[in-house]
Chain A
Amino acid sequence: MTLLEVSGMQAFYGRVQVLDDISLSVPDGGAVGILGANGAGKTTTLRAISGSVRSSGDIRFDGKSLRGLRPDQVAALGIAHVPEGRGTFSDLTVRENLRVGAYLRRDAKQVQEDIDYCLDLFPQLQNRVRSNGSALSGGEQQMLAVGRAIMARPRVMLLDEASLGLAPSTAKTVYKAIGRLRQESGIAMVVVEQNANLAFTLVDSATVLEAGRNVLTGSTAELKGMDEIRRAYLGG
């Protein structure tokens, strides 16, 4: 059954329309990719879902409409948004950053377990737990951002350009860890990526945006087969 259903979504910046009739469907435990060039509306789509950008159209999570909810209310429903640029809290230590992620939870004991899980998932963070977010490398900040999302025990995770500005090897590590997370936790995922190769390692299906519209939607296998996709996004 579908966990997150977006249909006919529109969004504006000022008088500029950035999203036009976007639709998206994420099954429970599934992973959907959003591909597209810069400015195609990928990030805005995620922001609209998490409520950081006003939008019209219909967004349903587990059957409930998200219309008019604030980002923190959306998060409370179990949607964790890993924003573009990671949104690390520079003055907080790694541990504190993770605890902010668990803000909505009351189960102190499991929170501790989840922190350990994050550190196990991203070993690079282990010897940095006491250092400030601002002191981390880009890759570590990205891992921290994902970790913060994990701490919320979400049902769906919105990943925005997790590979942005990372060395290819680091990007791979990050995606490997996320892949492992997906298997172990069964969290559903919406993955925005410019690097389709990376995205395809994670998602079962994907939609391609151009100028704020879905132009193409299909399973990973189908999409991989299409040569325009190969040309545009797989550098093949």
Chain B
Amino acid sequence: MTATNSFSTAPASPWRARLERPWVRWGLVALVVVLAIVVPLLLPEFANQTLARIGVFSVAVLGLNVVMGYAGQISLGQIFFVGLGAYVTAYGYNAGWNIVIVFVLACLIPAVVGMVVALAAARLGGLAIAMVTIALPIIGVPLAKRFSEVTGGSQGTSARFSAAPEWSGLYDDQWQLYLVILIGGATFMLTRNLVRGKYGRAFAIVKGNESVAASMGVSPYRYKVLAFTIASLIGGVSGFLYMVVIQYTSPETLNFGHSIELLASMVIGGAGSIIGSLIGGAWYVLVPQVTNIIDPNLTTVLQGAILLIVLFFLPNGFVSLPRLLRRIGRRDAPQRSAAEVPQHIEE
């Protein structure tokens, strides 16, 4: 199994080499920026709304990726922080607070909660962390119902602050998509720098082997807590965007099932990959819509089948697609060796 970190791996290939050239890079960046500005103006309403939703959940998956893909700590509670961010946003806006302050709180409160949980949970290993994180959404739902005067109870609460302002002359869906691109884009850039910097390396070491990390003077505990905190903060951002785009939240938002779907989306996109997070978000949003088009009565069976088929051919997610294609490219190579196939469990 090659490592899933898409930066460190992937042997040099012509197209990749070409990508390294600075002018190509800047050209791409410019292209992306131009697209980000132009596309919302051209696309029909529903396409914009879909893109915006993809943005929301890409950010959620990105957060999960920080703690799982990069730091290697399994978390089944990411949706809780998304929901928390959404609730903070809804409450703050409806209480008439300045929207900027609301945004800051929607990031900070989940971050703080995440840190507190992590301070306790990170002492435990593997499954135990999984268990603690499972608990978050599962306990979150009845909690959200109990504090109904804050959360609106099971009927949920709306907050519609993302209508396009007059001066912009934009449609609401365009305005919302711009907000998502702006905030989501910034989150992606910051996270990218983080995981490529010394923190990213530290995460990788902790993921690789905690005792080694300790011996290298990298405190596994501290970096686990850090990873959880960042993941929760990004979850909060995603929650804010959730309110920008969906404009309504209820206990159903932090249903445990969605946490599982986020996890699946992360692996499908590619654990430990920035692009993978984007693909994961697209997966999270598009697969239900596509299965709905195929047959609304068979969404479950279709979603399960698609997930398994993709993983069967791309165990490391979509980001490993280029590698797969290259391998197919050189089929003439000598017979596969034990190094590639765990032969002893083949019959």
Q: Interface residues, chain A, CB within 8 Å of chain B?
A: 11-15, 47, 52-54, 70-71
Contacts and interface: CB of A to CB of B under 8 A. Distances in A.
B222 to A, nearest CB: 27
A58 B334 CA distance: 19
Contacts of B346: 70
A15 B340 CA distance: 11
B339 interface: yes
Main secondary structure of the interface of B (DSSP, over half): loop
A15 B336 CA distance: 8
B335 interface: yes
B344 A13 contact: no
Query: Chain A CB within 10 Å — which of B334, B338, B340 has the most?
Result: B338
Main secondary structure of the interface of A (DSSP, over half): loop
B344 A12 contact: no
B344 A14 contact: no
Contact of A53 (B334, B337, B347): B337
Given A15-B333, A53-B338, 4 more contacts: A14-B337, A54-B335, A70-B347, A71-B344
5 contacts: A12-B335, A13-B339, A15-B334, A54-B337, A71-B344
Nearest to A11: B337
Contacts of A53: 337-338, 343
B339 A14 contact: yes
Interface of B: 333-340, 343-344, 346-347
A12 B337 contact: yes
Nearest to A48: B338
A70 B344 contact: yes
A70 B335 CA distance: 17
Nearest to B340: A14
Contacts of A54: 335-338, 343
A52 B346 CA distance: 11
Contacts of B333: 14-15
B337 A13 contact: yes
Contacts of A15: 333-334
Contacts of B336: 54
A52 B335 contact: no
B65 to A, nearest CB: 29
B334 A12 contact: yes
A70 B347 CA distance: 8
Given A12-B335, A15-B333, A52 B343 contact: yes
Contacts of B340: 14
Per CB-CB distance, the 5 closest pairs between chain A and chain B, nearest first, are A53-B338, A13-B339, A13-B337, A12-B337, A71-B344
Contacts of B339: 13-14
A13 B339 CA distance: 6
Contacts of B334: 12, 14-15
A11 B347 CA distance: 20
A47 B338 contact: yes
Contacts of B344: 52, 70-71
B191 to A, nearest CB: 34
A89 to B, nearest CB: 15
Nearest to A53: B338
Nearest to B341: A54
Contacts of B338: 13, 47, 52-54
B253 to A, nearest CB: 41
A137 to B, nearest CB: 17
Contacts of B347: 70
A179 B344 CA distance: 31
A47 B343 CA distance: 12
Nearest to A72: B344
Nearest to B342: A52
Query: Chain A CB within 10 Å — which of B335, B336, B340, B343 has the most?
Result: B343
A114 B172 CA distance: 80
B326 to A, nearest CB: 14
Nearest to B338: A53
Contacts of B335: 12, 54
